[in-house]
């Protein structure tokens, strides 16, 4: 099996996945790890400041979208939870970044007027 360095993996992921610059509750994030080698999506449930630490650290609660789904909480800094910085857990590199699932179509959806709607309908009203 071809083994990619974390930097190469992240570079390739950025070509394939539309990422966001921020991470917020409700976002789907992509998690990558070398050991164990994994790519998995997770739903961010909550991000709470860790007031016990002097620097800004945050408890990021997520549900891993795996079988079975699993709830985890990681304590991260903002550059780590937004994909700006690779971090380690138990000495192994990790990467996390929110995926942008917004529509790629930049134009607002066209509103259909009542007249256009009547023309397109193949149903008729029976009284």
Tens digits of residue pLDDT in 73-109? 999 999 999 999 999 998 999 999 999 988 665 555 5
- Is the pLDDT at 68 greater than 60? The verdict is yes
Residues forming a β-bridge with 33: 38, 94
Tell which residue, 68, 67, 80, has the closest CA to residue 29. Answer: 80
pLDDT for 1 beyond 80: no
Higher-scoring residue by pLDDT: 110, 32: 32
Is pLDDT larger for residue 115 or for residue 55? 55
Q: In what order do the strands lie in the sheet with 28-33?
A: 70-76, 58-64, 38-49, 28-33, 92-98, 87-89
**Domain range list for the chain:** 6-120
Residue 48's pLDDT is what? 96
Given this model, what pLDDT does residue 35 score? 82
């Amino acid at each position: 099996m071809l083994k990619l360095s974390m930097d190469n993996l992240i570079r390739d992921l950025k070509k394939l996945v539309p990422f966001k610059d921020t991470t917020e509750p409700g976002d789907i994030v992509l998690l990558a790890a070398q050991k164990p080698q994994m790519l998995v999506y997770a739903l961010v449930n909550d991000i709470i400041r860790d007031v016990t630490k002097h620097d800004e650290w945050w408890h990021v609660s997520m549900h891993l979208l795996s079988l079975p789904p699993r709830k985890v909480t990681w304590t991260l800094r903002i550059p780590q939870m937004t994909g700006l910085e690779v971090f380690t857990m138990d000495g192994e590199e990790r990467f996390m970044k929110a995926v942008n699932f917004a529509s790629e179509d930049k134009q607002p959806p066209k509103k259909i007027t009542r007249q256009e709607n009547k023309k397109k309908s193949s149903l008729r009203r029976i009284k």
